[in-house]
Amino acid sequence: MSDFAEIKIGDSVISLPIIVGTEDEKAIDISVLLAKTGHTTFDVGYKNTGATKSAITFLDGDKGILRYCGYPIEQLAGKSTFIEVCYLLLHRELPTAAQLADFEKNIAAYYELPAEVIAVLDVLPTNMHPMGIMSTLLSTLTGAYPADLEPNASEETHWKNAFRILGHMPAMVAYIYRKQNGLAYIAPSADLDYCGNFLNMMTGKVDKDVVEALNVLLILHADHEQNCSTSTVRIIGSSQANIFASVSGGNQALWGPLHGGANQEVIEMLEEIKAVGRTAEEHISMVKTKTAGVRLMGFGHRVYKNFDPRAQIIKKYCDVVLEKLDIQDPVLGIAKTLEETALSDDYFTSRKLFPNVDFYSGIIYRALGIPMDMFTVMFAFGRMPGWISQWRELRAAKEPIGRPRQVYTGYTSRDYVAIENR
């Protein structure tokens, strides 16, 4: 097969190189298109735009494949721990036992929150959404480590910043929750592992089954290649903004209901269906008429067009967790009926709409005792190693500043008219 694609504009034909990834995915490199032809490309929502080369996560949306550094998500979710997956995403290799112990020690050194973060948390309004607070706290880390914000800092400083973010995350998440609910801060414990320590700070208790469930959920969220929030992290980082600012911005992007915010929206949708006594068929029909702008939250994905492998793992896990914790959640039944109804409806099948990772995750978070407005923060907690490793990859490759083009559709040039003449 040719290594070039040809584009014909008028009478001129130009050749553009085809680049091929390690999984044989092919991309036409259009970087010279503007200079050679005066044309840009047009792709609203970047539906088919490759913005980077990345060696971290591979996904094939048609086949429902998701792998971190080559390792299938099913194997990682079944056999690994979140902290080991953090190591994998940052180093691109699985650790030895000694390497993992060292990594955990470096992270645990930052379990305590810096005074600056506590001071900011103490003055934020208690009615502020936890996602807004989370972004503020991540930004506040610039005040805790002002000497280490240089984009071209040493490798040692970049690693330290990664350890700081991963180390502070559990206490930040737990303290946001406890503060908003008028509960006292629980100090981190060096005797517990990463997830156990988080659960203890959040809920004051550590249960083996809950720790296991949390590990799986966080692993499933740990990275997802160039999604909306990760692309945000990379684009902020491309301006050479520091890592704390970049992940703070990524967190804001995650908040939206079409992205990470969907996990909260799913439970709100299920609760509403229960409260008003609507049937699954009635809800599906509201979605299909599109009149009220109602979407089936937790369904559909930009890339997955057959199934989301994370949703399949979560669905199975949902049953296991609820049974282990002996919880009967009526919204689980509603979710299952909605899913079955949608999957046998032409509206959804013809548009290739399937449950995504957020469809069942909220039910598990709820079973673990995590309140609804913290669900998206939990997503951010899981996604953090992905954001950090994508930021580091961008910096290491010295990628240029991200700056898309546009096709201008406004007025052409016109003369200013003095206000008295308008």
Rounded Cα gap, residues 108 and 171, in angstroms: 11
Indicate which single residue of 67, 259, 283, 366 sits in contact with ligand ACO (rule: CB under 6 A): 259
Biggest CA–CA distance in the chain, Å, is: 78
Using the contact rule CB under 6 A, the part of the chain among 81-89, 144-152, 169-177, 293-301 near ligand ACO is 293-301
* Nearest-approach distance from CB 376 to ligand ACO, in angstroms: 10
* 315 binds ligand ACO per the rule CB under 6 A: no
24 is catalytic: no
Q: Toward ligand ACO, which CB reaches closer, 164 or 383?
A: 383
Residue with the CB atom nearest ligand ACO in the bound state: 300
Catalytic annotation, pick one of 221, 259, 301, 308: 301
* 301 binds ligand ACO per the rule CB under 6 A: yes
* 223 binds ligand ACO per the rule CB under 6 A: no
**Helices 375-396 + 358-367 axis angle, to 10:** 120
Instruction: Kindly write out the interface string for residues 331-370 of this chain, putting x where it contacts ligand ACO by CB under 6 A and - elsewhere.
Output: --------------------x-x--xxx------------
Residues numbered 42 to 81 that lie near ligand ACO (CB under 6 A) are 45
3 state SS for 164-224 = HHHHHHHHHHHHHHHHHCCCCCCCCCCCCCHHHHHHHHHHCCCCHHHHHHHHHHHHHHCCC
Using the contact rule CB under 6 A, the part of the chain among 72-80, 133-141, 185-193, 256-264 near ligand ACO is 256-264
SS3 content of the chain, % helix, strand, coil (to 5): 55, 5, 35
Indicate which single residue of 137, 296, 314, 380 sits in contact with ligand ACO (rule: CB under 6 A): 296
Task: Count CB neighbours of 310 within 10 A.
Answer: 29
Count, residues in the chain? 422
Phi (first) and psi of residue 402, to 5 degrees: -75, 130
* 389 binds ligand ACO per the rule CB under 6 A: no
Using the contact rule CB under 6 A, the part of the chain among 13-21, 55-63, 198-206, 253-261 near ligand ACO is 253-261
Rounded Cα gap, residues 244 and 295, in angstroms: 33
Instruction: Kindly write out the interface string for residues 110-149 of this chain, putting x where it contacts ligand ACO by CB under 6 A and - elsewhere.
Output: ----------------------------------------
Indicate which single residue of 177, 299, 381, 391 sits in contact with ligand ACO (rule: CB under 6 A): 299
Q: Contact, 195 vs 211, CB < 8 A?
A: yes
Q: Toward ligand ACO, which CB reaches closer, 248 or 356?
A: 356
Q: Contact, 393 vs 55, CB < 8 A?
A: yes
* Nearest-approach distance from CB 45 to ligand ACO, in angstroms: 6
Q: In sequence order, what are the beta bridge partners of 12?
A: 9
Task: Count CB neighbours of 223 within 10 A.
Answer: 28
* Nearest-approach distance from CB 364 to ligand ACO, in angstroms: 15
* Nearest-approach distance from CB 294 to ligand ACO, in angstroms: 8
Rounded Cα gap, residues 114 and 17, in angstroms: 49
> In the structure encoding, which two tokens stand for residue 338, read together?
């909605």
Rounded Cα gap, residues 420 and 418, in angstroms: 6
* Nearest-approach distance from CB 212 to ligand ACO, in angstroms: 22
Residues numbered 27 to 46 that lie near ligand ACO (CB under 6 A) are 45
Indicate which single residue of 56, 137, 169, 287 sits in contact with ligand ACO (rule: CB under 6 A): 287
Rounded Cα gap, residues 74 and 88, in angstroms: 15
39 is catalytic: no
> In the structure encoding, which two tokens stand for residue 170, read together?
């559990």
Size of the site for ligand ACO (CB under 6 A): 19
Quote the DSSP letter at residue 44: G
Question: Which residues belong to the active site?
Answer: 301, 358
Where along the sequence are the contacts to ligand ACO (CB under 6 A)? 45, 258-260, 262, 287, 295-302, 351, 353, 356-358
